[in-house]
Amino acid sequence: MKGYIKWGGIALLVGLLHAVIFQASLKSKLAEAQREDLAVVEIDLSIMEDSAAESVALVEPEPVAQEVVEPVVEETPPEVVEPPQPTEEEVAELERQEKIQEEHVAMLERQEAEEKAKAETARLEKLAEQKRIENIRLAEERAEQERIDKIRETELAEQRLIEAERKAREEAEKRVLDAAAAKVAAAQKKIDDAKRAREAAAYAERKKREDAEKRVRDAAAAKAAAAQKKIDDAKRAKEAAAYAERKKREDKEKKIREEADRKRKAAEYAERKKREAEAAAQRAAEAEAKRQAALAKTMTQKPSSKSRSKPSYPRSLMKNGTEGSVKVLVQINEKGKVSSASVYASSGYPDFDSSALKAAKKWKYNPAYNGLGKGMPSSKVETIIFKLR
């Protein structure tokens, strides 16, 4: 059996080697065919380009010179100038060139059709050859695959046989082990049953002891709870009394604080009212002072003449018969006396001006009075006329 498997593996390796060689040769043939096709296409393209260049050279018509007649602009209406008609030789030459061009186009179309037919034939032959090579490759691959499948089937049959023998041996061993395990399980069950019985008896004894201990603990706990309840009740009563005392003290302190706050707020309110009254009095005093100042500056009664002496007529001007008038600005103090005098408007004669000032400084007035009824400084313009009778 081992020798058969060995020779089967060698045959499989040889088949794989043949397949690799066949694929390499097939690839080289396909590459050569592609290179030949590219060479044919390049030759066809160069031929087509040469023929196209020749056709363009043959078809180009010669330019026909035409005489351009420019119209002459005159004052008279414009005269219509028609271009010259082509001659019969030119028409015949144009028709001949058109015919040559049409024949050349037809020749190019025939050449293009022949080249397309050749290219299509070559393409079909190439496809047929590729199809034939592909069919040969597929047939060889199928044969190789069938041979490999047979080898695999033989190997699988051997593996299934070995697996069946292994399973039969394992089942026999399992049956022996299961029987031994059953015996061990039965013995272990007896041991476990005895152990559970002992544990149950021990649990019952422990439970009985724990119940007795619990009853003792519960009785002690009840006594302790009763004692603790008495202590707690006494403690709560004491806390209640302390709370009532604390509450009473806090209420008393609260009343004292509220009374103190009320007095403090009342004092603050009285102080604030006092400051407001003082501020109002100060504002009233300031307003009165402003009013008094305004009245002191306001003239309610103008000054009036009380006694005034006549100015002396200058002799030199009297001899000449000169007359005139002088306006004098008189400054009057709060008692009605003239504190100063100045020429407000000159007469044009210094003697008239000087005489008028001397007389004005001796005048007395009833002073001007302000809103307070007191005399106040003032000024007045007086006109003094010098006139001969």
Among the listed residues 386, 378, 305, the one whose alpha carbon sits nearest the alpha carbon of residue 348: 386
- Range with the poorest average pLDDT among 8-22, 103-117, 240-254, 338-352: 8-22
Arithmetic mean of pLDDT over the chain: 82
- Range with the poorest average pLDDT among 55-59, 82-86, 264-268, 332-336: 55-59
Copy the structure tokens of residue 231: 């202590």
- Look at residue 100 and tell me whether its pLDDT is greater than 90: yes
Q: Full-prediction pTM beyond 0.85?
A: no
In this predicted model, which residue has the larger pLDDT, 323 or 389? Answer: 323
Q: What CA–CA distance (Å, rounded) separates 382 from 165? A: 164
In this predicted model, which residue has the larger pLDDT, 206 or 20? Answer: 206
**Choices 3.30.2420.10, 3.90.1150.10, 2.40.160.10, 2.40.110.10: CATH for 301-386:** 3.30.2420.10
Residues counted in the chain: 389
Amino acid 173: pLDDT: 87
Amino acid 372: pLDDT: 86
Instruction: Give the number of C-alpha atoms closer than 13 A to the C-alpha of residue 322, restricted to the C-beta side.
Output: 15
Give percent above pLDDT 90 in the chain.
42
Q: What CA–CA distance (Å, rounded) separates 327 from 370? A: 26
Contacts of 126 (CB under 8 A, 6+ apart): 33, 37
- Using CA atoms of 241, 246, 251, 252 in order, give the dihedral in degrees to the nearest 10: 110
At residue 12 the predicted structure's pLDDT band, cuts being 50, 70 and 90, is low
- Using CA atoms of 92, 96, 99, 104 in order, give the dihedral in degrees to the nearest 10: -160
148 burial level (CB within 10 Å; 0-12, 13-18, 19+)? middle
Helix (H) / strand (E) containing 344: strand 338-345
Query: Is residue 388 a contact partner of residue 318, using CB atoms and an 8 Å limit?
Result: yes
CA dist list (Å): 243 to 103, 251, 257: 135, 12, 20
Amino acid 295: pLDDT: 81
Cα 138 → chain centroid? 66
Cα 3 → chain centroid? 81
Q: What CA–CA distance (Å, rounded) separates 321 from 313? A: 11
pLDDT tens digits along 284-310: 999 988 888 888 788 888 899 888 888
